[in-house]
Amino acid sequence: FFLFKAPEITEIFTEKLEELIKQRIKDKSFDDVVRKKRIEERTESYRNQAIEEREMVKTSLAEVYEKEYQKTAGEQGESNGVNDEHIAIEKRMRELFRLIDALSNFDYTPPEVRPEVRVVSNMPALRVEEVGMSASTDAQLLAPEEVKKHQKGSLKADEERDRTDVLRQRRKKKNRQRCSSKLFLLGPICYYHNLNLIIYRFIAACSELWWNSSVRKKQWKV
């Protein structure tokens, strides 16, 4: 980059600049940006053709052939009106067929076509074809609240908890510690209780054996 020295602002330089600005204004020579307009390259015929092709995509191929045939035959392809004469003829035919069926007591009348209603269950095939309880159990039908107790309140992170939540968690922790300490104290008691029971049974068995042996000695002496 080239570094140009800034001009010194003097009275002579200011007068020259003002004269240049005034002369530009008189001559109407401005250095403004000329506004440009975008020239449309697409013509109207091409645009209309694109719109027609877009509409043809929405219609089926049979409808396109039908419209082309109607244009070549000179018929009105756009008007899809129903002919009144066809409606009148169809009404008279239905009335005639009804009278003919009434003469034969509706013996030769085919059954009326009705929509068939079928109930399809969306159950899995394994559940439908199962024989025993090995395929599925009742535990699969339990709701989440039935498997585990629902926690009251909304879940909160450690940063979102207030003083009440901290105290509640502390109380739960203390309750768990109390329960675990009780179980810890009851463990040796149960152990000693079982040990005393074993010793008592051992003494009872020994006394029974001693009693039986003494009775047998007396019998031998006799």
Tens of pLDDT, residues 16-71: 889 988 988 888 887 777 777 777 665 556 566 666 666 666 677 778 788 888 88
pLDDT-derived band of residue 77, with 50, 70 and 90 as boundaries? Answer: very low
Give 105's DSSP letter.
Answer: T
How confident is residue 119, by pLDDT bands cut at 50, 70 and 90? low
Is the per-residue pLDDT at 15 higher than 60? yes
pLDDT in tens, 161-196: 888 888 988 898 888 888 777 766 665 665 566 666
Please give the Cα distance from 154 to 160 (Å, whole number): 11
Dump pLDDT digits (tens) for 90-102.
889 888 888 888 8
Q: How confident is the model at residue 154 (pLDDT cuts 50, 70, 90)?
A: confident
Is residue 111 classed exposed, middle or buried when 0-12, 13-18 and 19+ CB atoms within 10 A define those classes? exposed
Q: Residue 128: what pLDDT?
A: 47
- Residue 120's pLDDT band, with cuts at 50, 70 and 90, is low
Q: How many CA atoms lie within 13 A of 2 on its CB side?
A: 3
The reported pLDDT for the residue numbered 52 is 66
pTM (2 decimals)? 0.22
DSSP 156: -
Q: Residues 78-84: what's their mean pLDDT?
A: 65
What's the pLDDT score for residue 158? 82
Q: How high does pLDDT run on average in the chain?
A: 72
pLDDT of 210 over the 60 cut: yes
pLDDT at 48: 63
Average pLDDT over residues 65-90: 74
Q: Up-side HSE of residue 67: CA atoms within 13 Å toward CB?
A: 11
Q: Are 84 and 74 in contact (CB under 8 A)?
A: no
